[in-house]
Amino acid sequence: MSSLIRSISGIRGIVGESLTPNVIVRHVSAFADLRGGTPIVVGFDGRPSGARIKEIVTGVLQMKGADVIDIGMAPTPTVQLAVELEHAAGGISITASHNPSQWNGLKFIDQSGVFLDAEQNTQLFSLADDELEKFVQWDALGSHELREDVLDLHIDAVMRIPGIDYDAIRERKFRVLVDAVNASGSVIVPRLLEKLGCEVLRYACEGHGLFPHTPEPIPKNLVEFGSQITELEVDLGVVVDPDADRLVLFTEKGEPYGEEYTITTAVASCAEAGILNEGMPVVVNLSTTRAVNDVAERIGAQVVRTPVGEINVVKRMLAINAPIGGEGSGGVVLPQVHAGRDSLVGIVLVLDAFARNGGSVSEYRSGLPNYHIRKETFPLEGLEFESVLAAITAKYPDNEQNTEDGIRIDFPKSWFHLRKSNTEPIVRAIIEAPTEEETGRLSQEISSAMFGEGN
């Protein structure tokens, strides 16, 4: 039987195995105690189990005396924004992000629309483990309000970003193919694109939550989608994950744009729109492409890096007043809208960049700094990770090292980052260099350090 995963990203597990009604009740009850206020916003990412879990979540919250604002099937960033707009005490997004259909989970959001941090999650998990749920009497039960306008409120918010040339976007009349894996982006993403003057073709936007392919938006899962791009002669392919916080693009040639280049293009767009100016910080995590540095340096902006995890990026952004940030997995954060990864924000920013510069999407991509990135995983079981870190540290004594989250080693034109996953029992290695040959060489060096020479 699988184990429940508890991390900085909340909880997730396989429905009926590690994610059971009892587990859900205990964690939601703990969250209600931790927040100590009302109302609470609740949404789910569209997968079939989500609607059933939502009934448990909303019921427990009401039994704790909290009023519930139920926004139904909605992206995680929509839940976060709704918490802010409704001045709620917190929110719960029912999602397992990019995990397959049998998975689901809960992401916990504080009163500012930001995910709980590591310390807050640890406190929540401790309360859940105590199994001391206390509920209110019948005459103190919370209310339940179903809201159907929040998707449009989210669209309205991203249509008001200062500096964006919305008219230029509309004039381009982009023809866009959308893959929302039939989940929470199925309605809101096409609706936003249509408001931006795009002709929208829907690839997997049925909204029934049955994924047409493995939902993680990486190239090997999107081969059929890429072939549809050229067959339908569209200008751009837009792909979001089940809870629509990540944005991945395809060029008009049916080729992956590169998930690392979503945030790179967003940063370039912010520079052109006057959102990001000289001396301002850009915040990304330690695993994000150095192309962000290249783009930021063109205008004299500074790149600040954090440990992996959205909340780590967001907390640093808020602390230093960074106007733009994100992660190389397709996550874009623009605090002017709300402090969380948001595919809708990403769509507006990249379309603005494409519209301002004219030409095709592939032409724009070819003008960005180009690196080859390699992402590998290794099972954590049986691996003495601390010994691996020590070996890596000793191997590169003269290179720039960052040990905030595993270890990152920087070279003049390349780098690698080795870390334990927040959500899976694996070690991740992210390697980037100007050539594939260089990433391969670094991969061999990492493997040798982890498993001994000759591997």
The catalytic residues are: 97
Q: How far apart are the first and last CA of the chain?
A: 32
> Which residues have CB under 8 Å from 382's CB, separation 6+?
none
Find how far residue 85's CA is from the centre of its chain: 21
Residues, the chain: 455
CA atoms of 337 and 153, how far apart (whole Å): 11
**Structural contact between residues 419 and 360, judged by C-beta atoms closer than 8 angstroms:** no
- Crossing angle between the packed helical segments 185-195 and 343-357, to the nearest 10 degrees: 30
Farthest CA pair distance, the chain: 70
Structure tokens at 269: 């767009």
Structure tokens at 345: 């924000």
Buried b (16+ CB within 10 A) or exposed e, 51-62: eebbebbbbbbb
**Structural contact between residues 269 and 352, judged by C-beta atoms closer than 8 angstroms:** yes
Name the residue type at position 326: G
Taken in order 201, 203, 206, 209, is the CA torsion positive or negative? negative
What are the angstrom distances between the C-alpha of 323 and each of 246, 267, 290, 336? 18, 10, 18, 7
**Structural contact between residues 282 and 301, judged by C-beta atoms closer than 8 angstroms:** yes
**Structural contact between residues 371 and 411, judged by C-beta atoms closer than 8 angstroms:** no
For residue 341, what are the β-bridge partners?
A: 333
